[in-house]
A and B are shown apart, each in its own frame.
Chain A
Amino acid sequence: MADKAALALKGVTKRFGGLTVADALSFEVPAGSRMALIGPNGAGKTTVFNLISGVFPLDSGTIMLDGTPLENMPPRLRVGAGLARSFQNIRLMPHLSVVENVMLGQHVLVKGFASLLSPLAWQRGSRWRQFAEASLRDAGIDVDPDSEVSILPYGVRKRIEVVRALMSRPRLLMLDEPAAGLNPRETAELSAFLKSIAQNGLTLLVVEHDMSFVHDLCDLTVVLNFGRMIYDGPTRAVQDNEEVRAAYLGRRRVLTRGTYPAA
Chain B
Amino acid sequence: MTNKPSLARYRPTIQASAVIGVLIAALLIAAVTFGAQTMARLIVSGLMLGSIYMTVAVAFTLTIGVLNFLNFTIPTLFMLTGMVAWGLVAKGYVKFADGWAWLAALAVGVATAVVASLLVERFTFRYLKMKYGDATEHAIPLVSSLGFLLIFENLVLIFLGSESQRFAVPFNADIHIGGLVVGVPQIVSCALAIAIVATLSFILKNTRTGRALRTIGESPDTASLLGVEVDKVVPVVFILTGLLAGVAGALFTVNYGDVSPFMGDNVGTKAIAAMVLGGVGSIWGSIAGGFIIGVIETLSIYVFGGDSVQMVVWGLLLLIIIVRPQGLFATVSFAKAKM
Give the B-binding residues of A (Cβ under 8 A): 46, 49-50, 55-58, 60-62, 71-72, 87-88, 91, 94-95, 150
Contacts and interface: CB of A to CB of B under 8 A. Distances in A.
A95 B134 contact: yes
Interface string B304-339: 000000000000000000000000000000000101
Contacts of B337: 50, 55-56
A3 to B, nearest CB: 22
B339 A55 contact: yes
A150 B339 contact: no
B134 A94 contact: yes
A91 B134 CA distance: 12
21 contacts: A46-B339, A49-B339, A50-B337, A50-B339, A55-B339, A56-B337, A57-B2, A58-B2, A60-B1, A62-B1, A71-B1, A71-B2, A72-B1, A72-B2, A87-B339, A88-B339, A91-B339, A94-B132, A94-B134, A95-B134, A150-B132
B114 to A, nearest CB: 38
Nearest to A88: B339
B218 to A, nearest CB: 13
Given A46-B339, A50-B339, 20 more contacts: A50-B337, A55-B337, A56-B337, A57-B2, A58-B1, A58-B2, A60-B1, A61-B1, A62-B1, A71-B1, A71-B2, A72-B1, A72-B2, A87-B339, A88-B339, A94-B132, A94-B134, A95-B132, A95-B134, A150-B132
Of B132, B337, B339, most A-chain CB atoms within 10 Å = B339
Interface residues of B, number: 6
A95 B136 CA distance: 12
A46 B2 CA distance: 20
Contacts of A150: 132
Interface in B112-135: 132, 134
A87 B132 CA distance: 17
Nearest to B2: A57
A210 B339 CA distance: 21
Contacts of A46: 339
Interface of B: 1-2, 132, 134, 337, 339
Contacts of A87: 339
Of B1, B132, B337, most A-chain CB atoms within 10 Å = B1
Interface of B, helix, strand, loop or mixed by DSSP: loop
A88 B132 CA distance: 17
A83 B337 CA distance: 19
A55 B338 CA distance: 9
Listed from nearest, the 6 A-B pairs whose CB atoms lie closest are A94-B132, A57-B2, A55-B337, A50-B339, A55-B339, A58-B2
Nearest to A85: B339
A46 B337 CA distance: 13
Nearest to A46: B339
B5 to A, nearest CB: 13
A95 B337 CA distance: 20
B327 to A, nearest CB: 24
A65 to B, nearest CB: 16
Contacts of A57: 2
Contacts of B339: 46, 49-50, 55, 87-88, 91
Nearest to A69: B1
B129 to A, nearest CB: 14
A94 B134 CA distance: 8
B80 to A, nearest CB: 38
A71 B1 CA distance: 7
Contacts of A88: 339
A154 to B, nearest CB: 15
Nearest to A61: B1
A80 B30 CA distance: 58
Contacts of A95: 132, 134
A77 to B, nearest CB: 14
B1 to A, nearest CB: 6
Contacts of A50: 337, 339
Contacts of B2: 57-58, 71-72
Contacts of B134: 94-95
Nearest to B132: A94
A55 B335 CA distance: 10
A72 B132 CA distance: 33
Nearest to A47: B339
A150 B337 CA distance: 22
A95 B134 CA distance: 9
A61 B2 CA distance: 9
A71 B2 CA distance: 7
Nearest to B133: A94
B17 to A, nearest CB: 26
Nearest to A53: B339
A229 B134 CA distance: 36
B294 to A, nearest CB: 38
A194 B275 CA distance: 53
A95 B133 CA distance: 10
Nearest to A50: B339
A207 to B, nearest CB: 12
B43 to A, nearest CB: 42
A73 to B, nearest CB: 10
Nearest to A54: B2
Contacts of A94: 132, 134
A157 to B, nearest CB: 13
A231 to B, nearest CB: 25
A60 B132 CA distance: 36
Contacts of B132: 94-95, 150
